[in-house]
Structure 1
């Protein structure tokens, strides 16, 4: 139709959350009912969906993010950061909710505790997905997380094309519909998330095989400083080793891992080479402050550390 811009068909489409991360560093984490003194408050663009989209774009990918923000200063911050990173970020109408917010406390060892207020993320709906069906059907890879409504995740998987590869990080963890699990290739999760889904603490290889039995086509379990475990659909497993780095802030490290993995898959890499690259990229994420701390482009594949 004349005057209507064409839909951008990115090889990688991310459907997920966009948050403002409010971060404070502390000498030690407070006990229940206790107040401790922290450092200066820092505000960073974040949210699992936005983190993954920005990281993949900075690594060199052509990426579309489907997410909702509010009509407020945090929404403006996120929109600016996404577009400056080169992410295609189609605008949805503002709802009556503020932009999602994550309250993050970072301890002296770089580990963090996070409380998320969903805000506008809760408004991302199956109707929004239906409006973007053309983008989803044309994607080589669809990357998802669970900081948006589960029925929206299910709708996005249903809208994906028959050859679209679905990468899903079940965070925060919850039971997934069978039709979603059946499209995951891979299901990407850390050991805490695997434990939650399985209800038992077991060795990563055993956990991966148990997760495969639930329906995904492949599974990747991140192992912190030890790297990651790849489990193919036939049950074979491969360990990808990690590398020690100076940890500054683990916020968003798992998102950087998933972004790198999804991007390399969209470029045609096999699963294990893509995981090897993703484990390498995780090192830069934990070596800088903020969930979107990756600098643009120029990664050399190799091992690294990620918190998953």
Structure 2
């Protein structure tokens, strides 16, 4: 019998598009220090666009909502999304410069990032047609690299139409109760979870966050991910053991793949393992969107990991 191909989940992403300017160094510079890098790349990124590309490559029908500038970066950012199979009819072009992210990656795969919002700063409300695009999706992915009023407008619209709201609270900042009230799944990393709750232990932070949202996934880097839901025991899923080259956008890869897995109806533990496989592949490659795996690659690694767990 031929395996049934899962239906393509419909996912809308409201968020940032940035051109990532990535410098690779042996050791990141300290304040006032100048170091010599050994490579430089210009790579399409932005947390919103990254999640859109990750979801599209993972098998979803994805629509990107946001803004780029009138500059050459804007042209290249739109083209990169188009090439990844992401719909860009909801990606507006505004006066001025596109967003940029200035990233330093060290030889251990760690990174430090400075984001200059550019056109992303104009997304403080939904544009014409955005509400209909959100309403036609099954999931709305949100981050915090556009103004908070824009994030809240998207979340409220999704909630009103029964669309699942998945929020990545990055860059970390306090979140208004009205946004948390319309969030279905919150996906912070350890640092963001601590900023939101004041609790360094991920289990304690997840427990605290459940008083505001029904489900939480705390990403733990090389230690995997922790899932917590109200009235259920927390679940920890370890990450595959790999040698990281560049962790940029690993979290966005995870979120995009997780949204697809859940959209296909997978149970959360299985969805987390599949998303972790996608993230593990991404950290072994340089760049943001350029590092994100295609579905067949994630399926292959997930199958190998599943076989290795079988007694």
Alignment TM-score > 0.5, same fold: yes
| Matching residue of 2:203 | 205
CA distance change for structure 1 residues 212 and 93 in 2, over 3 Å: closer, same or farther?
Answer: closer
Q: Please tell me whether the aligned partners of residues 183 and 217 of structure 1 are also in contact (alpha carbons under 8 angstroms).
A: no
Aligned residue for 1:114?
113
Taking the TM superposition and a 5 Å limit, the aligned residue runs for 1:27-106 are: 27-106=26-105
Cα offset for 1:125? Answer: 2.7
Name the CA shift for 1:181/1:272 in 2 (closer, same or farther; >3 Å).
farther
Q: Deviations over 1:241-278 (max 9, x none)?
A: 11210111000000000101111222222333222211
- Match of 2:295, SS state, is coil
Aligned counterparts of 2:81 and 2:137: Cα–Cα separation in 1: 19
Q: Deviations over 1:64-117 (max 9, x none)?
A: 010210111111111111001100011555323201000000011010000000
Cα distance between partner residues in 1 of 2:231 and 2:41 = 45
2:223 to 218, 221, 226: 226
Query: Which runs of structure 2 are paired with 1:237-256 in the superposition (5 Å)?
Result: 237-256=234-253
* Matched pairs, number: 293
Which residue does 1:26 correspond to in 2? Answer: 25
TM-score (norm 1): 0.90
| CA RMSD after TM alignment | 1.8
Task: State the partner residue of 1:171.
Answer: 170
Please state if 1:150 is matched with 2:148: yes
Q: What SS is found at the alignment partner of 1:41?
A: strand
Contact 2:9/2:264 (<8 A) preserved: no
2:263 aligned with 1:266: yes
Matched, 1:136 2:134: yes
Q: Which residue in the other structure is 2:4 paired with?
A: none
Alpha carbons of 1:10 and 1:59: their partners in 2 closer, same or farther (altered >3 Å)?
Answer: closer
290-299 vs 151-160, which deviates more? 290-299
- Distance verdict in 2 for CA 1:194–1:117, change over 3 Å: same
Unaligned ranges ≥5, structure 1: 1-8
SS in structure 2 of the partner of residue 67 of structure 1: strand
The CA distance in 1 between the partners of 2:90 and 2:63, in whole Å, is 11
In the TM superposition, what whole-angstrom CA distance separates every residue of 1:197-249 from its partner, at most 9, and x where no partner exists? 11232x22111101111x11100001111110000122520111112101110
| Higher alpha-carbon deviation: 48-57 or 272-281 | 272-281
- Is there any run of 5+ residues in structure 2 with no aligned partner, and where? 1-7, 307-311
SS in 2 for 1:247: coil
